[in-house]
A and B are shown apart, each in its own frame.
Chain A
Amino acid sequence: MFKNNICKFTILPSGDIMEGKIKNLFVGAALFLVLAVGGIVAGCIDSDEKPTLIQTGSSTVLPLGAAWAEEFDGANIQVSGGGSSHGLNSLLKGEADLGDASRLMKGSDYEAVGGDKTLVKSDGTATGAAPGGVWPYKWVVAYDVLATVVNNQNTWATNLNYSQLYKIFTDDDPAVYWDEVPGLSGAPHEKIEIYAPDEASGTYDYFFESIIKDWGKATQVAKTRLESNDGVYHPSADDNVILNAIKANKYAIGYFGFAYLIENPGQVKAVNIAKSGTSYVEPSLATVATYPMARPLHIYTNGLPKKDTAKGKAIYEYIEYILSDEGQAIVPEVGYVKLALVNPSLASDQLSKLHSG
């Protein structure tokens, strides 16, 4: 009604043209929206009715999670990083279905959501549910193995134990020259150079967690040489940079993920490691069960997955897939170590728990 009115009032000569123009533009805009909505709808039709799972957490598990999520057909899985604590936190809050963690769950994870920290046992499992009703269940899905490497011409440091690594890598009376490291025969009076991951990497944390007592606690006994900033530790986020630096420098030492060593055979020398004394173990797929610098990677779910809901069924099948031979076959390709190499029955034990419900 108003519109008619206005047309009467509008005696601008271009009135009709303008009306036409509005129509054109609105038609254009509408067309655009229809196309857009159509695109979204088409996207919906073209995708199936699989449930969506959210997997989040440790950036160490991230590439592995993405690979499994891609190969697994039973669900659409969104994978994101953010760290182990973030993963457990999201799971406990019910925001995520799968929480990735490169460490065990701790009492502090329960505390963060207002729960009782005494419910969490030292093996990373809980004896009761967190306030939101989520009761995390731990799955060990793969192993992360860390390799300490030196230059191929290095003949004196092919075996190292934790206390020697401590002397080389921490600020507690650090060795400046190779011959200052105790127990190395034939070590030259040459400066040690460290090429290794930076603070941001999970590998860094894992390495120092192994060699520094109480790492990350108030009672931590020493700092890393990167933190003390004495110029010996050259950090890099790129394994390739570390590899090339050690390849080029006879007196260099460093560490990175074991998988990267396998990808680049013969370029640098892997150091045999002992926790203490001289029971050195060479890092290799065959010895991974006894090699000290190997850690399990976990995925936490809300209780044992049950098949009664579509989502529960998807989680059940996903875990089943991860623990199957097929799922485990991906692990070395991404750069980690299969469960079977560490403990032949670990996968099947967990599978039978899953099946027993």
Chain B
Amino acid sequence: MNWSRSKGGPGHDPFKKRFRPGEDLVVWFLLAMASLAIVVSATIIYTLVDGSYDFFTDSRVNIFDFFTGSDWMPNGMDPKFGILPLVQGTILIAGGALLIGGPLGIAAAVYLSEFAHRRVRMVAKPVLEILAGIPSIVYGFFALLVISPFLREYFDADYFNAAAAIIVMAVMVLPIIVSVSDDSMKAVPKHMREASIAMGATKWETATRVVMPAASSGIMASVLLGLARAIGETMVVALAAGSVAKGGWDIFGEHMTMTSYIAQVATGDIPPGLGVQAAFAVGLVLFAMTYMVNSLAARIVLRIKMGKRPARDNMMTRAVNRLKLLSRFKLRASEFMTDVTDRFKRDRKEPRLLFRHMNERVGKVVLATSLVLAVTFLAFLLYSIFTQGYKGLSWEFLTNPLSWKPEKAGIKVVIQGSVYLVLLTMVFTLPVGVGAAVYLNEFAKETWFNVFLRRVIQNLAGVPSIVFGLVGLMVFVRTFHFGLSLLSGSLTLSIMVLPVIIVTSEEALRSVPQTFREAARGLGATKWQTVWHHVLPNAVPGILTGTILSLSRAIGETAPILFIASFYSKVAPRSVLDGFVALPINIFYWTKNPSHEFQDLAATTIIVLLAILLSMNALAIFIRQRAQSRRQW
């Protein structure tokens, strides 16, 4: 019974393998939890392929025309399914967003990494985090009701137009571009900067000609990650960009993207039939596109992390060559300048240096401007939502049930729906996510299977949220017959946040010093005892923080539950099989409502949603701070 005592007494052979019955079972159990990620991925692919198969085998559909056709008319007597207009809309909007957000993000990252004072970082980082944490439905509201009227007024844009979506999405991709670029530039060894400065380059020249080229692959990866995010974004385009798939490149006209088509199907705007089936084929193409972009980015990031290429020496030689080139260029420039200055009979060196320093100053201003823009945008967004919504904020609004009359409408039921949804999601994901993380971080060896598992989890995190919506509909609502219920909704959200919870829990486990494990093992604890009694307890604050943060993402997600949530419900769900209404969904319907009273209520609901997010984040920060202050290591 008590193996460890009877065999572990003094004089016992210390090299004999310690064994407790059931420990293997626990590990297998954890492995099973981690493998759920593979099951989820396989289900996603199966659902999309199965739905697409039904679509492509229909007599009215020709797979060749699907990929090459330029007419998208899913309704009517003679439906046409040529995906090109949707792809074009996606490329126009995502590409446009990248064209603005990319340079802005890189500039901000260079500034933060190379020039910014610590205090500037202290302001900029939270601003970027807030921008990243604002749910996309809020950006959609902002695009349709704030940016779009402006564009209509001054650029004669259509009511729905691509430009509003592009502008807002440019800001949405900023945080990821800045943080990944910033990280990769910070990873450039310090001595390269020192060498550059020592050779007489200014800080500006060091940043742009030494650090940026050395970090170029990381910067590239950041842009790719931003692109994947923009391609997969649903709510902004569904609200602001319109529903006409006519193609063309007119940024002030209406465009439909792949994601907004699926969203249209989700809200029932496409009559059942072939048009709905087409959503799976579109989803498959969308999935494939984001998968490719994401895995390309992941490969680059992995390469940087592993330090395989650009190897340090390699990086060094390249930098030295670049500096040589630079100095040669400078030499030539100085010769030229000598000519010029001789002609003007002026001092030789001063203007050159002056020029270079001016360059630095101007450059710094340009870089800093990008940050200022981001901060201004955030301020403007919050300001316009607050001014539109604060009037509606009252106790009645928070405690009244939903209503078709704006003056009577309240969001009590909606808040309850969202809270239940997220609590259920936590109940589902927390054990599985932590179990998977424990397996991956504590027990997994570098076998092909575990490498594969990690890749699957990483890829799962990059799947567009609307695709989860399609999968949730087919699997939980239809196959499992859970119906349009709280259970279906929370399971759909669960499979979406699972990879995030796994990754953050793993980070928390990794932050527990290795010496703890060694000490416990050295004293004879088994692996599982070590994990259960020493690693997990110390990782709990980190796990909780990560979980709360991912749940705060889940509560703002609209696209995955667009298929499942109800339009109206009188009371909060009383069982997990009841239907539900949720905050982001309600914001979506009220924003779409042509009546201004409802649009104002949407703004008020956004204020409530943001307040909930803020308090969740504050709780996470509080837990982290408390844990850090009590930490003994």
Contacts and interface: CB of A to CB of B under 8 A. Distances in A.
B2 A77 contact: no
Given A39-B419, A76-B569, A67 B268 contact: no
Interface residues of A, number: 70
Interface stretch (A140-148, A154-162, A215-223): A215-223
A15 B579 CA distance: 48
A167 B111 CA distance: 62
B488 to A, nearest CB: 12
Contacts of A52: 574, 578-579
B567 A81 contact: yes
A349 interface: no
B578 A69 contact: no
A199 B246 CA distance: 12
A116 interface: no
Given A70-B401, A227-B73, A76 B533 contact: no
A301 B2 CA distance: 65
B487 interface: no
B244 A235 contact: yes
A186 B262 CA distance: 47
B4 A5 contact: yes
Contact of A198 (B2, B76, B243, B520): B243
26 contacts: A1-B2, A5-B5, A12-B534, A18-B533, A21-B537, A22-B537, A22-B540, A25-B540, A39-B423, A47-B571, A59-B267, A66-B568, A70-B404, A76-B571, A78-B484, A83-B272, A199-B73, A199-B243, A199-B244, A201-B269, A214-B77, A217-B77, A219-B77, A237-B160, A237-B242, A237-B592
Interface stretch (B89-97, B212-220, B229-237, B523-531): B523-531
Interface residues of B, number: 63
A67 B401 CA distance: 12
A65 B568 contact: yes
Given A82-B268, A83-B268, A85-B273, A76 B570 contact: yes
B31 to A, nearest CB: 22
Contact of B271 (A2, A85, A229): A85
Per DSSP, chain B at the interface is loop
Interface in A49-103: 52, 54, 56, 59, 62-63, 65-67, 69-70, 76-86, 89, 95
A112 to B, nearest CB: 8
Interface of A: 1-2, 5-6, 9-12, 14, 17-18, 21-22, 25, 29, 36, 39-40, 43-44, 47, 52, 54, 56, 59, 62-63, 65-67, 69-70, 76-86, 89, 95, 198-201, 205, 214-220, 223-224, 227, 229, 234-241, 334
Contact of B246 (A6, A80, A229): A229
Nearest to A235: B244
A223 B77 CA distance: 8
Contact of A199 (B75, B402, B537): B75
A78 B540 contact: no
Contacts of A25: 537, 540-541, 544
Given A12-B519, A214-B77, A220-B76, 12 more contacts: A21-B540, A43-B572, A47-B571, A63-B404, A76-B569, A76-B570, A80-B567, A80-B568, A80-B579, A85-B272, A198-B244, A205-B75
Contact of B159 (A29, A83, A236): A236
B77 A216 contact: yes
A interface SS class: mixed
B327 interface: no
A63 B243 CA distance: 21
Nearest to A236: B159
A229 B245 CA distance: 11
A200 B77 contact: no
Interface of B: 2, 4-5, 73, 75-78, 158-160, 242-244, 246, 254, 264, 267-273, 401-404, 416, 419-420, 423, 483-484, 516, 519-520, 523-525, 529, 533-534, 537-538, 540-541, 544, 565-572, 574, 578-579, 592, 594, 630, 632
Contacts of B271: 83-85, 205
Contact of A10 (B254, B423, B533, B594): B533
Contact of B579 (A54, A63, A220, A223): A54
A200 B243 contact: yes
A14 B632 contact: yes
Contacts of A40: 420, 423
B168 to A, nearest CB: 19
A238 B594 contact: yes
Nearest to A88: B272
B568 A5 contact: no
Contacts of B533: 6, 10, 18
Nearest to A73: B570
A237 B264 CA distance: 12
Contacts of B572: 43, 47
Contacts of A80: 484, 565-568, 579
Nearest to A65: B568
**Which one of A9, A18, A44 has the highest number of Cβ atoms from chain B below 10 Å of its Cβ?**
A9
Interface centre among B5, B271, B401, B632 (most CB of A within 10 A): B271
Contacts of B565: 80
Given A39-B419, A66-B567, A83-B268, A218 B77 contact: yes
Contact of B566 (A36, A44, A78, A241): A78
A256 to B, nearest CB: 10
A47 B579 contact: no
A2 B423 CA distance: 33
B54 to A, nearest CB: 14
Contacts of B632: 14, 17
Contact of B544 (A12, A29, A82, A220): A29
A291 to B, nearest CB: 24
B153 to A, nearest CB: 13
A334 B566 contact: no
Contact of A78 (B269, B423, B568): B568
